[in-house]
């Protein structure tokens, strides 16, 4: 980067001068300090997204600027937040954690199976440094958010580290709340889930804002590692304020031999979100499934980029993203299936469906394929349309008013993604959250 450009940025970005350190009390190991410094350098040396960058095609680049923000300060009323989290707690969860502005404020890990490790990220670095180091931010590839990821790498301390040793199975989800609040504040939650051979684990991250109308930003990175025969599920429910809140989340999933992963993005809130999801099928029999259900209204912009990369023979993956758009909402879906040389006998599918509920909503879809192998079954499909009059008429004929019929159909449309996840209570919970937003739309 030319020096004059660097200097120009320094004048506007408070953290162009120094990394956003907000927790000096942690006793961080050397490797992690070094990692932070390198991430910091990468952040400074990485250019902002440009118009000509294919990874940012169709995106409103103004929304991706974040130079005036600061690392979030400790919240004042922790008790109120803990109360709030209890109200949306799953009755049957294995563990329950509450983070507010980068700090753990409450936890209950009584339902965890024996041998499982669940720790706030900062503590995990101290106590299980080797495990963290082995899996933490190992993905070199980027779908465009490398500058965000670099800043995250220089700051991450909050969020949960989940480690399930060989054969440890827990069907109940681990629930994690992340609250962000205060004007111009940013949090860096990191979720690292490792399922060793034949382990089974399910994690749900919930992102919410403390107050409405505040300029907040979440820069989250999620590393999911499923070893041989493991079964890993991860859900991110984002329900932040649609006035001012912005949300960036970068997921990276690695699936080993016969491993199965399911990951989902449910987006209801925030004024702008950017989701990136890299899914790597590394060994034979690996299967990655990626889902998303997004309900966008007002002037919300949801920007999602995905990659399914098949690196071994006999691997499978499936992606189903569904967007329901109202008012002047915009969605961008860019997905790429990549079948690498030698990854023969691959089955890979990708579907993005957009339902447009107003004449000003805008849906962009870029479903991509790159196939470099033989005996491959791949397809992608993308549709954009509206609810047909016939469907509405059918429900009206059965006594359901048109408006309600519309809502029922839209809800069913989004629920198709949610229903592919595992865990009855979890699915019901997600469905209710979507339903709640629909109720507010009317």
Partner 1 sequence: MPDSATLEAVNIDQDEGNFSYPEEYAHDAGYGLNEDTIDFISNVKGEADWIREFRKKALKIFESKPMPTHWASEDLENIKFDDIRYYLAKGQRPTRSWDEVPDDVKQTFERLGIPEKERKYLAGVEAQFDSEAAYSNVKEELEKQGVIFVNSTEGLREYPDVFRKWFGKVIPTGDNKFSALNSAVFSGGSFIYVPPGVKVAHPLQAYFRINAENFGQFERTLIVVDEGAEVTYMEGCTAPKFETATLHSAVVELVAMKDAKIQYITVQNWSNNVFNLVTKRGMAHENAEIRWIDCNIGSRLTMKYPGVIMKGRKARGEVISIALANDGQHQDTGAKMIHAADETTSNIVAKSISVGEGRSTYRGQVHIPKNLKGCKNNTECDALLINSNSRTDTYPAITVRGNQHATQHEASVSQVSEDQIFYMQQRGLSEGEAMSLSVNGFVNDLVREFPMEYSVELKRLIDMEMEGSVG
Tokens of 431: 């469905």
Q: What are the DSSP calls for 154-165, one per residue?
A: TT--BSEEEEE-
Task: Report in angstroms how near the CB of residue 68 gets to partner 1 at its nearest.
Answer: 29
How much of the chain is helix, strand and coil, in % rounded to 5?
Answer: 25, 40, 35
Residue 374 or 425 having the CB closest to partner 1: 374
Q: What angle do CA 365, 367, 370 make, to 5 degrees?
A: 155
Q: Which is nearer to partner 1, 26 or 364 (CB)?
A: 364
**CA atoms of 338 and 330, how far apart (whole Å):** 26
Rounded least distance, CB 397 to partner 1, Å: 22
Measured from the CB of residue 359, what is the shortest distance to partner 1 in angstroms?
4
Work out how close the CB of 305 gets to partner 1 at its nearest, in angstroms, rounded to a whole number: 13
Applying CB under 8 A, the residues found at the interface with partner 1 are 52-54, 57-58, 341, 344, 354, 356-386
Name residue, tokens 């991430």.
Answer: 39
Residue 21 or 373: which CB sits closer to partner 1? 373
Between 170 and 387, name the residue whose CB sits nearer to partner 1: 387
What is the chain's length? 442
Whether 233 contacts 203, CB under 8 Å: yes
Which residues does 253 contact at the CB level (< 8 Å), separation at least 6? 224, 225, 226, 232, 234, 261, 263, 277, 278, 279, 280, 288
Tokens of 21: 């350190």
Residue 84, CA atoms < 13 Å, CB-side half-sphere: 18
* Residue placing its CB nearer to partner 1 in the complex, 369 or 441: 369
Select 111 or 368, whichever has its Cβ closest to partner 1.
368
Angle value at C-alpha 411, between 405 and 412, nearest 5 degrees: 90
SS3 409: helix
Contacts of 83 by beta carbon, 8 Å cutoff, 6+ apart: none
Which residue, 55 or 107, is less far from partner 1 as judged by CB? 55
Phi, psi of 299 (to 5 degrees): -115, 25
Shorter beta-carbon distance to partner 1: residue 3 or 52: 52
- Alpha helix ranges (H) inside 16-157: 30-45, 78-87, 121-127, 129-135, 146-153
Other Cβ atoms less than 10 A from the Cβ of 153: the count is 23
* Distance from C-alpha of 150 to C-alpha of 37, rounded to nearest angstrom: 10
216 contacts 180 by C-beta, under 8 angstroms = yes
The DSSP element (H or E) to which 151 belongs, if any, is: helix 146-153
Structure token pair of residue 434: 């979507």
Query: Closer to partner 1 at the Cβ: 10 or 416?
Result: 416
Tell me how far, at minimum, the Cβ of 392 lies from partner 1, in Å: 13
Whole-number Å distance between alpha carbons of 19 and 147: 13
Looking at beta carbons only, is 115 or 385 nearer to partner 1?
385
Contact 406, 392 (CB under 8 A): yes
Please identify, using beta-carbon distances, which residue of 225 and 332 lies nearer to partner 1: 332
């Amino acid at each position: 980067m030319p020096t004059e450009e660097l200097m120009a940025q320094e004048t506007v970005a408070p953290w162009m001068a120094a990394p956003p350190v907000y927790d000096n009390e942690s006793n961080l190991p050397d490797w992690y300090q070094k990692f932070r410094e390198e991430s910091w350098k990468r952040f400074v040396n990485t250019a902002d997204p440009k118009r000509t960058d294919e990874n940012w095609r169709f995106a409103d680049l103004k929304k991706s600027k974040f130079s005036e923000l600061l690392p979030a300060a400790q919240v004042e009323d922790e008790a109120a937040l803990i109360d709030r989290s209890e109200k949306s707690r799953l009755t049957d969860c294995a563990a329950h954690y509450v983070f507010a502005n980068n700090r753990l404020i409450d936890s209950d890990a009584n339902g965890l199976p024996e041998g499982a490790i669940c720790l706030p990220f900062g503590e995990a670095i101290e106590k299980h440094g080797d495990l963290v180091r082995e899996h933490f931010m190992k993905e070199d590839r980027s779908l465009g958010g490398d500058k965000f990821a670099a800043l995250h790498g220089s700051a991450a301390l909050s969020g949960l580290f989940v480690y399930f040793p060989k054969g440890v199975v827990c069907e109940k989800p681990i629930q994690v709340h992340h609250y962000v609040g205060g004007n111009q504040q940013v949090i860096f939650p990191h979720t690292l889930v490792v399922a060793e051979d034949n382990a089974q684990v399910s994690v749900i991250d919930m992102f919410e804002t403390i107050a409405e109308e505040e300029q907040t930003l979440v820069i989250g990175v999620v590393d999911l590692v499923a070893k041989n025969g493991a079964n890993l599920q991860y859900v991110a429910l984002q329900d932040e304020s649609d006035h001012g809140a912005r949300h960036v989340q970068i997921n990276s999933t690695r699936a080993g031999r016969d491993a199965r992963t399911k990951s989902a993005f449910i987006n209801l809130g925030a004024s702008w979100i950017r989701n990136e999801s890299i899914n790597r099928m590394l060994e034979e029999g690996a299967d990655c499934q990626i889902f998303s259900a997004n309900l966008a209204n007002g002037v919300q912009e949801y920007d999602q980029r995905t990659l399914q990369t098949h690196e071994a023979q006999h691997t499978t993956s499936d992606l189903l993203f569904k967007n329901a758009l109202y008012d002047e909402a915009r969605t961008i879906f860019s997905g790429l299936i990549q079948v690498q040389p030698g990854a023969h006998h691959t089955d890979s599918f990708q579907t993005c469906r957009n339902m447009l509920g107003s004449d000003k909503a805008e849906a962009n879809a870029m479903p991509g394929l790159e196939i470099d192998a033989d005996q491959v079954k791949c397809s992608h499909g993308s549709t954009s349309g509206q609810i047909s009059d016939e469907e509405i008429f059918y429900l009206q004929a059965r006594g359901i008013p048109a408006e309600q019929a519309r809502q029922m159909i839209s809800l069913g449309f989004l629920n198709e993604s949610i229903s592919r996840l595992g865990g009855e209570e979890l699915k019901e919970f997600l469905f209710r959250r979507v339903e709640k937003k629909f109720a507010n739309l009317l």
